[in-house]
């Protein structure tokens, strides 16, 4: 057995920005494949070739979009790979000597090559094209691109290799969701290697103890594979004849990632390095490879920044400009005249959360330019160096900087639930943060203080949580340093803010949000929330701003004051002159206001709760409150549901309320953000992908559906992109996110500095953005936790989509025949099935003869005929025979995806099958997740079947979301009472219940909330769990700062444990009470072994413990002996 020892890599001191391969840094050479003379591998998202002896490599492709492969053909002449182009991931082949690539697949969705058949005639492909949920299946695809993909007869399969004679397949039956980013994983998705006879579908399981065994390779009488059964992933062999497993390489270094081979030689990747293993002598050696050539992905360049990259925004004090955070830079954009300014132009740092000072001179923001985030103050023209304010010795993430009206202080919050302010005027003393308060509970976003200053800059108003989970409003006095709670805690207070006059403050408060206030339970999706708007009178000497109103007749004396008819014209002239004078007075008043010192904001804390008044504004789910001028507020109304996950972030309406007139007006629809200028005159808002500045007074109820004001021209937003500088910043940001957000301060025993130092040398060798993602996954996998998800920047894809008809096909007489037509749900646009529309009349057994007049034969690529046709009217020629006699043209509209219609058809088939097997006694209910879709699915299918005696809840492939408390509560319902009326059926209360036995189906592809639901089902003793062990990822994620380029990193910030103080589910999963696998032989024969077992269990239970039957008691008879009774 060969041994690999981890070799420490030296950190390089110099930064190289030249767009060339850095010869000294370790590179990430990935997924090698081997021919008789060469090694092909992936680097810089392209394929490179090198001699098996090593040396200088040469680039074979120049597409920079390759995602999978390369794979040498058996004869070594052709290389297959998958690449993302034209809006889809497809398989391509290219001659090993170079040349033009050939596209092999055209079907929408991911088509990922996994190898070749031994004869070189076909390719093996993994795809979800016919899957009803999120799982892969394996297909054979003709290497010349002709014909139809042929699915191997397996329920699911992720990766496989054929035996030399092609009769058997060694394969991984499922995908592990976090293959790279969860090391030492031992949940329900640990991957076995199974060997299946493709004719009989009999299985052999390679022995293991819940290890991750991947990338099987069949050579001769052995199946080689990678496994973490003895520590870091290493190389093993399974002898097909003796059934023995032997470790070939002992590994104490980086993980082995992929495996390929030919003849007596194996080639594998050990995280970025390529090794050869000689099967005859057991020798293992590193292949030394040099890389020459330019890498365009490293070239510094100027890039246009789209509106989709904007993360935070603010408006200048008078609304002449807006300031944006985008791609780690701070931009100001004029409302009308002038140029866009990039104030920071920094590739190597991230600037966040800009806020414009009320005096218009400076912009505050947070930046990590010094290595940790600090507060920066920069002149609004960006011409001078910024002032940097250190925020303390224990840095973290900071949010929501808000200026005091006198521009001398800034209040902000941090990740650690603290609220601070800092003096930024030297006359006030040192610029050191002063703590105001600390919140009580951490949510899935920034601490929700919603802090603001009083007009005189001496008070800070904010809301924070109470032990009850509801929020109250607080006032902090800068003069005394004391905090006072000003609301009683019997309502949930949000959006507190001062009126510009300094006489009042406003806030919204809800008394019906309690059942949904945590936002983490599925039941909160069933709760609507409303909030009323309140005003607090700050001084005990101030009168009510909404005194009682009364209509009274005017006295005769008032009438005598009216001008005589002949004086009316003169009176009008006087009025016009008065208006002109008023305009001049208004300008003078505005000037006086600017010159006049702001009067002190008088606040009498005693009795303030008695001076809180309800404003005459209808209660709605208000999510935003901002102030305009004195006595004017704007209220953003969100989705009616209390749980934010039930909405889409769009405010259905913005309402303007004017205190003087007590008038509420609906002035703007479907905006996603709104802010007002310091003078209260203008508003910055986002609608769709555009940003607009409008006068608050110009927001017109009659034009609420439009976009009032001036649309901002963002075309001038450009940034200097230095890829390597950005990757370094994002590397540091990645570890900072883990440091600050990960729920365990000990990081599962990992020293973050040591692990960061181990992987840091790879930074200088990164060749492309995907390399950074690969590096992040590998290093974050060391923490060993679920939900460690890493994503690259979002890329817009406007390419035309290929179309699908919602059908399965068979080849017959050189033609394509409709073997099966999927019945979607045409009442739902997501389930639209093109061939089942009224009037189409295409039937199973018909032939597809042509598409838009172009004949189609079985030697043609079926899906290529529909390229670019999704959503477009398409004429297909169909007939009842392959010759085309009596054929007809049919107009259809192909869809881009069949996923939803196939999913719906699968549910309906499971309902039908359950009814058939149980003779109508058992209900079937499917939950695709524990979020909105699962909530809707449960409500639809459960309550429509409450006449059944028993129920199967199917959560296989459940993608999680919230905690399914609502589902468990409904399933736990027991009879409480009965009632009846003269006619109709008797009713048992509660009505929405099934009182008989219950079972739940689970499998390895159910996780997160899909782990919690069966866990709670078992705790509630509702019935048996049938299937296979769940994923085992029961932590919570959300609310992280995006990476500089829009990429994403998670750091589980909550972890769920049981009532006995044990993390029961994380990295284990929920084991079934009755284990039933999807046996390929049974599934191929049309069975669902797990569903059928659950039905059998419940039928037995119904025999032994039938649900209760209630009989109407005798009616009372009070007239047995008084002669008034009887019929």
Of the candidates 1008, 1068, 1077, 1101, the residue annotated as catalytic is 1008
Strands ordered across the beta sheet of 504-510: 492-498, 504-510, 532-537, 612-614
Distance CA(251)–CA(347), nearest Å, equals: 38
Buried b or exposed e, range 192-215, using 16+ CB within 10 angstroms:
bbbbbebeebeebebebeebbbbb
φ, ψ for residue 676, nearest 5 deg: -115, 150
Distance CA(594)–CA(581), nearest Å, equals: 20
Output the six-digit token pair for 103: 């596209």
Could you tell me the CA-to-CA distances from 753 to 8, 529, 750, 955 in Å, in that order? 14, 45, 9, 40
Distance CA(37)–CA(283), nearest Å, equals: 18
Could you tell me the CA-to-CA distances from 156 to 91, 132, 206, 478 in Å, in that order? 20, 11, 18, 64
Of the candidates 787, 802, 900, 1101, the residue annotated as catalytic is 787
H or E element at residue 85: strand 78-85
In angstroms, the first-to-last Cα distance of the chain is 98
Active site residue 252: no
- Closest listed residue to residue 315, CA positions, set 699, 657, 686: 686
**Helix and strand tally (H, E) in the chain?**
11, 73
* Non-local CB neighbours of 26 within 8 Å, separated by 6+ positions: 9, 272, 273, 761, 762, 765
Q: Determine the 3-state secondary structure of 1053 from DSSP.
A: coil
Q: Give the sign of the dihedral formed by CA 892, CA 897, CA 900, CA 903.
A: positive
H or E element at residue 573: helix 568-595
Beta bridge partners of 89: 84
- Closest listed residue to residue 270, CA positions, set 2, 488, 500: 2
Active site residue 767: no
Distance CA(762)–CA(185), nearest Å, equals: 25
Distance CA(21)–CA(924), nearest Å, equals: 58
- Closest listed residue to residue 78, CA positions, set 101, 105, 96, 59: 96
Of the candidates 309, 1066, 1077, 1101, the residue annotated as catalytic is 1066
Q: Contact at 8 Å (CB) between 1031 and 1076?
A: no
φ, ψ for residue 856, nearest 5 deg: -130, 125
Output the six-digit token pair for 33: 């494949």
Active site residue 787: yes
Which positions are annotated as active-site residues?
Answer: 787, 1008, 1066
């Amino acid at each position: 057995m060969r041994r690999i020892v981890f070799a420490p890599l030296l950190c390089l001191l110099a930064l190289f920005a030249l767009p060339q391969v850095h010869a000294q840094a370790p590179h990430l050479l990935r997924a090698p494949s081997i021919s008789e003379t060469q090694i092909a591998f992936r680097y810089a998202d392209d394929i490179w070739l090198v001699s098996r002896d090593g040396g200088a490599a040469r680039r074979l492709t120049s597409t920079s979009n390759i995602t999978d492969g390369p794979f040498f053909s058996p004869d070594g002449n052709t290389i297959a790979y998958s690449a993302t182009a034209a809006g889809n991931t497809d398989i391509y082949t290219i001659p090993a000597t170079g040349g033009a690539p050939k596209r092999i697949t055209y079907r929408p969705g991911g088509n990922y090559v996994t190898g070749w058949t031994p004869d070189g005639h076909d390719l093996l492909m993994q795809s979800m094209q016919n899957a009803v949920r999120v799982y892969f299946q394996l297909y054979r695809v003709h290497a010349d691109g002709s014909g139809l993909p042929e699915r191997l007869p397996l329920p699911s399969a992720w990766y496989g290799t054929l035996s030399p004679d092609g009769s058997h397949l060694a394969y991984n039956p499922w995908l592990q969701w976090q293959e790279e980013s969860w090391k030492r994983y031992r949940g329900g998705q640990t991957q076995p290697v199974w060997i299946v006879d493709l004719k009989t579908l009999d299985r052999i399981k390679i022995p293991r103890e819940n290890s991750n065994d991947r990338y099987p390779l069949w050579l001769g009488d052995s199946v080689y594979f990678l496994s973490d059964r003895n520590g870091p992933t290493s190389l093993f062999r399974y002898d097909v004849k003796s059934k023995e497993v032997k470790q070939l390489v002992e590994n104490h270094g980086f993980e082995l990632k992929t495996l390929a081979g030919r003849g007596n030689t194996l080639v594998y990747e050990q995280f970025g390095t390529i090794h050869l293993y000689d099967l005859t002598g057991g020798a293992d050696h590193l292949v030394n490879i040099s890389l020459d050539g330019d890498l365009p992905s490293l070239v510094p360049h100027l890039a246009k920044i789209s509106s989709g990259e904007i993360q935070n925004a603010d408006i200048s004090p008078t609304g002449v400009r807006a300031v944006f955070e985008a791609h780690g830079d701070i931009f100001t954009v004029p409302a009308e005249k002038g140029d866009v300014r990039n104030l920071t132009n920094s590739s190597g740092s991230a600037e966040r959360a800009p806020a414009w000072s009320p005096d218009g001179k400076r912009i505050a923001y947070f930046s990590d330019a010094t290595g940790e985030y600090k507060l920066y103050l920069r002149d609004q023209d960006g011409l001078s160096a910024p002032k940097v304010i250190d925020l303390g010795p224990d840095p973290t993430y900071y949010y929501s900087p808000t200026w005091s009206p006198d521009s001398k202080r800034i209040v902000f919050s941090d990740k650690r639930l603290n609220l601070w302010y800092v003096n930024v005027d030297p006359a006030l003393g040192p610029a050191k943060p002063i703590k105001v308060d600390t919140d009580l509970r951490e949510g899935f976003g920034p601490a929700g203080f919603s802090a603001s200053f009083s007009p005189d800059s001496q008070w800070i108003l904010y809301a924070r949580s109470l032990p009850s989970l509801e929020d109250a409003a607080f006032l902090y006095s800068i003069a005394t340093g004391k905090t006072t709670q000003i609301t009683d805690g019997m309502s949930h207070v949000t959006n507190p803010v001062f009126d510009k006059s300094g006489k009042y403050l406003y806030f919204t408060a809800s008394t019906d949000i309690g059942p949904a206030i945590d936002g983490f339970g599925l039941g909160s999706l069933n709760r609507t929330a409303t909030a009323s708007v309140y005003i607090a009178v700050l001084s005990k000497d101030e009168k009510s701003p909404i005194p009682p109103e009364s209509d009274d007749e005017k006295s005769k004396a008032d009438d005598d004051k009216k001008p005589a008819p002949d004086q009316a014209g003169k009176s009008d002239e006087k009025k016009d002159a008065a208006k002109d004078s008023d305009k001049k007075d208004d300008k003078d008043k505005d000037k006086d206001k600017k010159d006049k010192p702001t009067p002190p904001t008088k606040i009498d804390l005693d009795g303030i709760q008695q001076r809180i008044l309800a404003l005459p504004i209808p209660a709605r789910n208000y999510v935003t409150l901002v102030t305009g001028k004195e006595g004017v507020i704007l209220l953003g109304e969100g989705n009616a549901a209390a749980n934010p996950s039930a909405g889409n972030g769009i405010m259905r309406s913005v309402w303007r309320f004017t205190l003087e007139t007590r008038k509420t007006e609906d002035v703007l629809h479907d905006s996603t953000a709104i802010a007002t200028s310091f003078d209260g005159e203008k508003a910055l808002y986002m609608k769709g992908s555009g940003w607009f500045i409008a006068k608050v007074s110009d927001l017109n109820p009659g034009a609420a559906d439009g976009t009032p004001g001036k649309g901002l021209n963002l075309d001038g937003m450009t940034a200097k992109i230095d890829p390597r500088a950005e990757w370094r910043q994002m590397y540091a940001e990645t570890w900072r996110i883990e440091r600050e957000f990960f729920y365990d301060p000990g990081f599962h025993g990992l020293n973050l500095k040591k692990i960061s130092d181990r992987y840091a040398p790879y930074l200088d060798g990164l060749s492309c953005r995907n390399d950074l993602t690969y590096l992040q996954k590998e290093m974050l996998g060391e923490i060993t936790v679920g939900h460690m998800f890493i994503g690259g920047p979002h890329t817009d894809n406007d390419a035309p989509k290929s179309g699908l008809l919602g059908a399965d096909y068979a080849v017959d007489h050189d033609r394509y025949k409709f073997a099966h037509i999927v019945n979607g749900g045409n009442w739902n646009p997501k389930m639209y099935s093109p061939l089942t529309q009224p009037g189409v009349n295409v039937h199973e057994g018909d032939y597809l003869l042509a598409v838009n007049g172009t004949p189609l034969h079985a030697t043609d690529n079926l899906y290529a005929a529909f390229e670019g046709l999704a959503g477009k009217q398409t004429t297909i020629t169909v007939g009842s025979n392959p010759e085309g006699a009596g054929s007809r043209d049919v107009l259809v509209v192909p869809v881009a995806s069949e996923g939803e219609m196939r999913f719906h058809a699968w549910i309906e088939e499971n309902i039908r099958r359950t009814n058939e097997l149980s003779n109508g006694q058992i209900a079937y209910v499917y939950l695709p997740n524990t979020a909105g879709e699962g909530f809707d699915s449960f409500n639809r299918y459960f309550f429509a079947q409450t006449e059944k005696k028993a129920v199967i809840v199917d959560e296989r492939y459940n993608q999680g979301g919230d905690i399914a408390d609502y589902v468990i509560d409904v399933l736990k319902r027991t009879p409480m009472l009965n009632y009846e009326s003269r006619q109709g059926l008797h009713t048992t209360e509660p009505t929405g219940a099934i009182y008989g036995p219950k079972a739940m189906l689970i499998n390895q592809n159910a996780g997160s909330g899909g782990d919690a639901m069966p866990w709670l089902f078992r705790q509630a003793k509702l019935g048996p769990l049938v299937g296979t062990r769940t994923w085992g990822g029961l932590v919570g994620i959300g609310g992280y700062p995006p990476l500089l380029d829009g990429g994403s990193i998670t750091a589980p910030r909550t972890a769920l444990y049981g009532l006995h103080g044990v993390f029961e589910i994380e990295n284990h999963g929920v084991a079934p009470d009755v284990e039933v696998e999807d046996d390929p032989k049974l599934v191929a024969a049309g069975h669902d072994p797990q569903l059928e077992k659950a039905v059998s269990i419940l039928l037995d239970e119904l025999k032994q413990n039938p649900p209760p039957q209630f009989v109407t008691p005798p009616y009372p008879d009070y007239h047995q002996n008084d002669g008034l009774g009887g019929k």
